[in-house]
Amino acid sequence: MLKARGLLARVAVLVLAFFLVLPAWAKAQENQLSSQSQVQLEAAEQNQDQVADQNQEREREREHLKGQRGKSVAEHVYKGVANALLHVKNPVARAALTAILEGKSVAEAVYEAKAQLLSLKDADEVASVTEQLESAVEADKALDASTRAQLKKQLGVMYLKGGKFKKARELLEAVLEQEPNDEEAYKQLDQAFAASGELQVKVFVKGKGLQFDVPPRIENDRVLIPVRFLAEGLGATVNYDNGEVIIKNRGSTIRLVIGSNKALVDGVTVNLDVPAQVVDGRTLVPLRFVSEKFKAKVDYFGGSNLVAVQPL
């Protein structure tokens, strides 16, 4: 009986201890879990902060690169340059393309490329690099008109080297519309026409090429041109009176008689090397004579028979 009572007492003590200890143990477990959750939460927040910092750093790097490359140059230009580098093997050509990717300005890259590319033998590589540089020039909105024209002139030379004569002409003609007094651009344009075999007489007035329904011609080393096209280019007026061609501009008057080797300039008789003539219903007059009498500068480039007329 006494043994039974002792056993019951011990059981009661154990039960009591269990109920006393259990809450404390549960609380400890709860605190531990809470602590672990807090650590995990802090770790997650810290990771998010790190990711945000990394994103901000990448963005700063991108902005820095944009600033180095030229803020207004389109990103697709650099992708095009990178793609071109996959196909260009010559180290000199690669260096010309890499100039942009390395953060040099478009202008620096073009001038550096010109110096390097002119020594290349592979025309296809020269043309490929030049195309990418032209894209960069077109995309760079920060360039002023004069700088853009000069860069296009350099690109025109590079296209000549690359055998892309039509592209060279297009760029150089655009340059002359912007800079009609650029004699170097005329020389390069003359080379481009000659290289492509276009040897018919071409006339540019104030940097713009004239289009004719009756083509100019050369007689006795003198260029004859439809008078109305020349007069309009110079801002002059043309009238006809009893077989005379009367051209007026800037207070001066030139009178030409069809087939005659004499002309009147402000009432003074002047001899002509070649007389005015009618061809296919158009009156052709000696270009240099008329232009210079109206105080215009005339340059002749014999490679492709290109004539440049620029009022002074």
Residue-wise pLDDT for 206-250, tens only, equals 999 999 999 999 999 999 999 999 999 999 999 999 889 999 998
Task: Note the Cα 70 to chain centre separation in Å.
Answer: 13
254 and 239, same domain (yes or no): yes
Q: What is the pLDDT of residue 216?
A: 95
CATH code of 101's domain: 1.25.40.10
% residues pLDDT > 70 (the chain):
65
Q: Is the pLDDT of residue 55 over 90?
A: no
Short-list 276, 212, 279, 218, CA closest to 247: 276
b/e code 87-97 from CB counts within 10 Å (16+ = b): ebebebbbbbb
182-210 pLDDT per residue, tens:
999 999 999 999 999 999 999 999 999 99
Instruction: Report the number of distinct structural domains present in the chain.
Output: 2
Q: Rounded CA gap, 312 and 307, in Å?
A: 16
247 and 172, same domain (yes or no): no
- pTM of the predicted protein model: 0.69
57-71 pLDDT per residue, tens:
545 544 443 444 444
On whether the CB atoms of residues 152 and 169 are closer than 8 A, the answer is no
Last residue of a domain, one of 178, 198, 218: 198
Lowest-confidence region among 29-33, 218-222, 234-238, 281-285: 29-33
Q: Is the pLDDT of residue 312 over 70?
A: yes
Phi/psi for 83 (5° steps) reads: -65, -40
The DSSP bridge pattern shows strands 306-311 and 202-205 to be parallel
| Mean per-residue pLDDT, 25-37 | 54
| Strand locations in the chain (E) | 202-205, 208-209, 217-219, 222-226, 237-241, 244-249, 252-257, 262-265, 268-271, 277-279, 282-286, 296-301, 306-311
Last residue of a domain, one of 158, 182, 198: 198
| Mean per-residue pLDDT, 140-148 | 80
129 and 111, same domain (yes or no): yes
222 and 175, same domain (yes or no): no
Last residue of a domain, one of 198, 229, 249: 198
**126 SS3 class:** helix
CATH code of 228's domain: 3.30.457.10
124 and 217, same domain (yes or no): no
Confidence band, pLDDT 50/70/90 cuts, at residue 146: confident
Order of strands, edge to edge, in the sheet holding 222-226? 217-219, 222-226, 282-286, 277-279
Q: What is the domain range of residue 107?
A: 75-198
| Mean per-residue pLDDT, 13-25 | 49
Q: Is the pLDDT of residue 105 over 80?
A: no
